[in-house]
Structure 1
C-alpha cells in the first residue's frame, strides 16, 4: 500500500491547484469572451476593474459554497450544483455592484453573459476530467484512504462490499473490528480480516495508519458508538457512521437538515419540492392545453358515437385516489352500459366483459376512453405522466397485500406511466401483476425528470395506445 500514500500527502497541494485553475479559468474565459466581442484584447480601466472584481467574487463564492471540500465518494452532480451556485452567485453580485455604482452602462452585457457561460463550462469541464483521472489512479492503487469498519455483521459486510465494488473512490477497507463473541478472526469477505475488538481501535489506527473509521453498527448499539468516539477523541482521524436503514423499504432516501437537526428521509420524492412541483405543473398544463386543441375533433366524434350507440351519459366519472391520498373525480369516456353495483363493490373489467359496449371495446383497445383525463390535468388533479389512478376499493384491497403500495400516492396520478409503457396495464388479475406495476410506479417516482416524462410520452405514442393487455 506504499504507493497509496503517493498522492495522499499532497491533498493540500491539490486544493491549491484547484483554486489556481479556477482563478485562471475566470481570467482566461473573461479575456476570451472580450476578444470574441471586440476582436482585440485592449481592455480599458473599466473592463480591467470588472475582470479583477469577478475573479475575487468568484474565488470567494467557490470557497463559500464548499467547492474545495473533499469530493471523494460524492457524486459529480453535487459538485456541478456547487460550482453553478458559486459562479452564478458571483456574477449576480457583479451585476448588482454595477447597478449600485451606476457603472453597468460602461461595459457590455453580452460580454458578461458569455463570460458567465464560458467560465462555468470551463470549470466544470476540467473538474470532470480531473475527477475521471483521479478515479483511474485510485482504481490502480494510488491516492488511497485506508478505512477501518466497526462491525463485521450484515451492515458492515454490505458497506465493505460497496467500497470494494467502487475502487475509483479510493477507499480501501483494511479490516473489521467486532465485539461480537460469535464472530471469528476471519470475516465473511475473505480478503478483509477481522482485526480485533473495540479495545484495539486506538492501537490499530496508529499502527496501520488508518485514515477513516466507519461505524456500521445496528441503531441499538449506542454504547459501542460512544466507545468508538471516546477511544478516538484525541485523534484527528475522520469518523463516519453508516445508518442502519437498509432493512427499510426506501423511496428516494436522503439526508437533510430541518431546523438545525440532521434528518434521514426514509421515504420522500424530489418531485414534492416546490421548484420541481412547479416545473412538473407547467409541463402538464402546457402539454395538456396543446393536446386538447389537437384532439378536439376526436373528442367530439367519440362523444357523438357514445351517445348514438347506448343510453347514458357520455362521460364516466369515478372517484380515484390522488396525490397525498385525496380523492378526486376522474373523467373517462363511458365504455360500458349503465349498471349499478352494491355499495363499496368494484367489479374490475375483464376480457369479453358483456358490460362493454361496441364503441367501448374499440376505445378501450386504443386507450381513447382515457382522453377526457387531459381535462383532469388542466384542473391540476392529474399529470400526463404518473402512476395510474386505481379505484378506491382496489386501493383498500391492495394496500394490505402489496408492500409500499400507498407510496405511489406521493405524486399526482397520470394518464400514462412507466408501468403502462412496460406492459403492466389493463386487468391485474394476479397479485404478481400488481406488485410489478407498483415496482415500476415507485421507480418512476424515485427517478423522475422532465426528460423521463418525455421518454414515457414518446413510448406511449410509439406503442402505448394499442396493447394486448388493454381491455
Structure 2
C-alpha cells in the first residue's frame, strides 16, 4: 500500500513538473511578447515556442529521473530537493540549447529563455515546498503512515525509537520490537511499543503484520544473525535498514565510498570536499563580499575615522589565526584596544570591563563593527562569509586536546559568521556547543544554508552582549 502511494506521488510529481513547465512557457511568452514591459522584435509564431517547451518538459523529466529527483522524499531534507531542482533545470536548458544549435534553430529569444528558466525554477520549488509542508502536516495527523519493526530492544533500539518520536512529520509508526533477551519492565511497557517476540519470529510477523521497513538495531556481537534477517525481509519484500553499533563515530549524513572494490563508510564526509561545491561557495563569497564592501563603504570610513581620532595607533588590528587545513593567516579587524607596547604572543581572553579597550572600541566590539574588515580576508581567500570562527594558534593547540572533534572545523574555510554565531553562541559561550554547531554546518553545508545563516545573522542584529 505504501509503495503504491509512493508510486502515485512520483507520477504526480512528474505530471506536476511537466504542467508547471508549460504554464511557465505561457507566462514567459506573455512577459516577453505581450506585456509590453520588454522591447522585442517580431517573434516566431507561438506554436514554434510551444513545441520547444514540450521538448524541454520531456528533457526535464528524463534528467530528473537520472539524477533521482523523483525518488522517495520522506526522509530527505528540502534543501537537497532545492538544489536538485536547480541542477535539473540548468542541465535541461543546456541540453535544449544544444539541440536547438544542432537543428539550427536560432530565432528563439535569449531573453525569453532566461525568463522561462527562472520561472520554471521558481514555481517548481514553490509548489514542491508547499506540497512537502502539506504532507508533513497530514503525517503529523496520522495519515499516510509507514510501519516500522525494530529488531533489537537494547540501548540502540530504544534510542532509535525515542529519536523517531521526535519527528512525527516523517509519518513513521513503530509496531513493535523483536529481541531474544530483552523484557520490558512496567515503565518501559508504558513508554515503548511492545516486544512482539524473538528474532526467530521475524518471518511469521512479516507475514501477518503490515510492515514497511525493518530497522536492525543489534549489537556488534549479533553480526552473525544479519544474513538470516535480511533474507527474511527480502523474501517478504520489506526494506531493511541497519543502524551500526558504532554510529556515534559517524557523521550526521554518512557517505559510502568504494575503495579497492570494497564498500566503505567515510567517517567524515564533507560536502565542500566536492570541487563544484567549493567553486560555487567561493564564487558566492567573492560576489557577496564585493557587494557588501561597496554598500557599507561609508560605514567602513566612519569606523576607520572613529578609531583614528579616539586612540593613537593603527586603524587595522592584525592577529594570527588558524584557517583552512590548519594554515595560519592574519585576520583583520578594526582596532578596539589601546596599542600594546609589550612584545610576545597574546594568550589572554578579553574580559568584562577590560582596561585595554577604548571607549570607541567597546562600541564597535559590542556591535560587531570591528569585524567588517574581514570581508577583505574573504576576497583574499583566507576566509569565507559563512563558516566556523577562526581561533588563535595558542588556543587551537589547547583545545585540540581538550575538546573532541575540535580540529574538524579546519576542514573548511573559517567564516565571518557561522551556524554557531547565528544561534547566539558568540563571545563568552561554551566552546563545546560552538564546535557541535560547527560540525553540523560542515556536514550539512549547502548554499541555501549559507543564505539562511546570513539572513538569521542580520535578523538577530549585530549586537553582541557576550563581546568583551
1:4-56 Cα shifts (integer Å, max 9, x gaps): x5x7655545544444444344344434544555559x956634532442233
TM-score, normalization by structure 2: 0.77
Aligned 8 A contact 1:151 1:216 in 2: yes
Aligned 8 A contact 1:253 1:264 in 2: no
Closer, same or farther: CA 50–165 of 1 in aligned 2, 3 Å: same
Closer, same or farther: CA 266–36 of 1 in aligned 2, 3 Å: same
Aligned 8 A contact 1:288 1:384 in 2: no
TM-score, normalization by structure 1: 0.76
The match for 1:363 is: 361
CA distance in 2, matches of 1:185, 1:206: 28
Query: Is residue 335 of structure 2 the alignment partner of residue 337 of structure 1?
Result: no
Shift of 1:57: 2.1
Shift of 1:364: 4.7
Structure 2 residue corresponding to 1:287, chosen from 273, 283, 292: 292
The match for 1:380 is: 381
* Unpaired segments ≥5 residues, structure 1: none
Aligned 8 A contact 1:418 1:456 in 2: no
The match for 2:90 is: 88
Closer, same or farther: CA 76–261 of 1 in aligned 2, 3 Å: farther
CA distance in 2, matches of 1:301, 1:135: 52
1:70-116 Cα shifts (integer Å, max 9, x gaps): 223333333343344334333322221111111131x3444444443
CA distance in 1, matches of 2:13, 2:315: 66
1:237-278 Cα shifts (integer Å, max 9, x gaps): 21122344553485x544354668766555455455412244
Q: Residues 68-467 of structure 1 correspond to what in structure 2 (within 5 A)?
A: 68-105=70-107, 107-179=108-180, 181-184=181-184, 190=191, 192-219=193-220, 221-244=222-245, 246-248=247-249, 250=251, 253-255=253-255, 257=257, 264=265, 266-267=267-268, 269-270=270-271, 273-274=277-278, 275-284=280-289, 286-288=291-293, 291=296, 294-296=299-301, 298-299=303-304, 302-303=307-308, 306-307=311-312, 317-331=318-332, 333=335, 335-341=338-344, 346-350=347-351, 356=356, 360=358, 362-364=360-362, 366-367=364-365, 373=374, 375-383=376-384, 386-414=387-415, 433-438=430-435, 442=439, 448-456=449-457, 459=460, 461=462, 463-464=463-464, 467=465
CA distance in 2, matches of 1:285, 1:13: 47
Shift of 1:449: 0.8
Aligned 8 A contact 1:255 1:265 in 2: yes
Closer, same or farther: CA 54–291 of 1 in aligned 2, 3 Å: closer
Closer, same or farther: CA 185–288 of 1 in aligned 2, 3 Å: same
CA distance in 2, matches of 1:110, 1:10: 40
CA distance in 1, matches of 2:88, 2:346: 58
Look up the SS of the partner of 2:248 in the other structure.
coil
Closer, same or farther: CA 189–8 of 1 in aligned 2, 3 Å: farther
Q: Paired residues, what number?
A: 446
Structure 2 residue corresponding to 1:30, chosen from 25, 31, 51: 25
CA distance in 1, matches of 2:388, 2:122: 37
